[in-house]
Structure 1
Amino acid sequence: MTVATIEAQPPTIAKSERGFFSLMAPGARKAFFYLLVIAVGFLVAFPVLWLTLTSLRPASGMFYVHRGTEFTLENFVEVFANKTVIKAYVNSAIIATLATVLSLGITVTSGYMLSRFRGPIASGWFSIIYVFRCVPYISWVLPLYIVTQNLGVYDTYLGLLLPHIAVHICFFSWLMKGFFDGIDPSMEYAALIDGCSRWGAFVRVALPSAIPGLAALSVLCWLWTWNEFLFALLLTSHNTPVLTVVMAQFVHELGIEWNLMSATAVMALGPALLITFFGQKYIITGLKI
């Protein structure tokens, strides 16, 4: 008769109980989480708050605040009276809107092809997009400058729209492919069986299902174009100034006009915040597809 010996095993500790948070009481964890959220929110909001305060202060009170410092709207009055700034504001809105509309028209079909089609054409298009995505963004500038000069579209809407559309196609076709990959193609197959063409199945079935993704992509495209600086700096001049370049012109040999630059930046921040605020639910919904 043998006696089985059972060795005592050390108690296992759940993964959730390990680490730094295991040493904290539940109430302390909650307080730590709230403090972390407040700290991150402060880091995000502080630059915007400081920018707004700077735009409301006179030029003589940029670098110090004393008891008699007064806030003023003269900076905004001066900026609105500057025709170059207003022209740049309008140009930025037009270019961002046109680039978004035209880019979506191409990107949605590009993403659908990458998601649904197989063959040499789709593989070749996939390879082209992949190669251009591997190229650093800044290396596009000189070739695009030479091309716009040779085509005679330098410092025009077309000369600035084409580079933005090219970048959007390369970067956002992947997002559209992901949106269409998340849509069940069985309804499209049913439409094809019922006699619908491939284009009809795309327009009537796939495209309506991808509307949340399109809305998210349109917000991202618009914000990217609105905030873009490098293309606008090198591909435009006096005919089509944009807001990001005009803001940089407040830095000159006589100094930096912080008050006017801040007022212009607040003007540029307004539309971006509005579009982000009203489009955030579409962005969240679209990215969940």
Structure 2
Amino acid sequence: MVIKIEGLDFAYGAGKQSVPVLKNINVTIQKGMITAIIGQTGSGKSTLVQQLNALLKPTKGTVQIGDHVVTNKTKEKELAPIRAEVGMVFQFPESQLFAPTVLEDVMYGPKNFGATDEEAKKAAETALQRVGFDATLYEQSPFNLSGGQMRRVALAGVLAMNPQTMVFDEPAAGLDPQGQEELLNLLKSLRDEGKTVVLISHQMDQVLALADRVLVLKDGEIAADEPVDQLFSRPQSWFAEQHLDLPETIAFQKQLEEKGFVFDGLCKTVPDLAKAIKKQLDPTKIRSIGSTISENGEANHE
């Protein structure tokens, strides 16, 4: 499902109390892709994604979600079909958990949109299995769970509704390294199934590994909207201006380029970078690499 945003402004409050947050946003989020939204704190990322399922409505402009068009005049009763098609997992999962047990919580979404108890239970159990949640905890209160377990339950609650688009605000928050890896694989599998995935992340390595396209927000405006390889090919100075870090492999690659190395493209993983370096090593460059690594405190050069 394509989401098209045109001329969108958004402000909290009205009149003299109005606080502008988003300004003249024009973006198309393509079906079957992973789109990452990045930017420094306060740039408007969370406000933007809440426009994608009409939790917030534009102050000005339009948001077209599939066949549905949302403006500041759209009535609340018209928004239910949109929320069935666009699921959202918030940054703080405890904010969207409320039922007495885990299973009831995950069943709520399907039931709310017309599923029978049997259908909802089957969808909930399938979703919980997919996120790797322990079946022995299905009857536990979600509020007795760890942060990582809560995040899995919140994610399962959205998966159980089978929306066409899924939005994640800092999806790896609260997960251990294994949980993060499992989540990344899940997001990739959703894309492979034809789902549209949108995520906010401060983890640039995660964005590099996952995203097909990246939106960069700065002060409520779009600073960049381009494929992930194109974005991370920008100079380091541009990222500094946006107050953003580079992924570790890309930062190291750019340092090597300053020392004379030439790369055919971006090295997204450490093995890719090592392979590219090995092809062009000579004693001088070996010493150069060692100095670079030592300067960055990543290893000792002997």
Q: TM-score range by the shorter chain?
A: under 0.3
Q: Which has the higher strand share?
A: 2
Relative to the length of structure 1, the TM-score reads 0.24
More relative contact order, 1 or 2 (CA 8 Å, 6+ apart) = 1
Relative to the length of structure 2, the TM-score reads 0.23
The structure with the larger Rg is 1
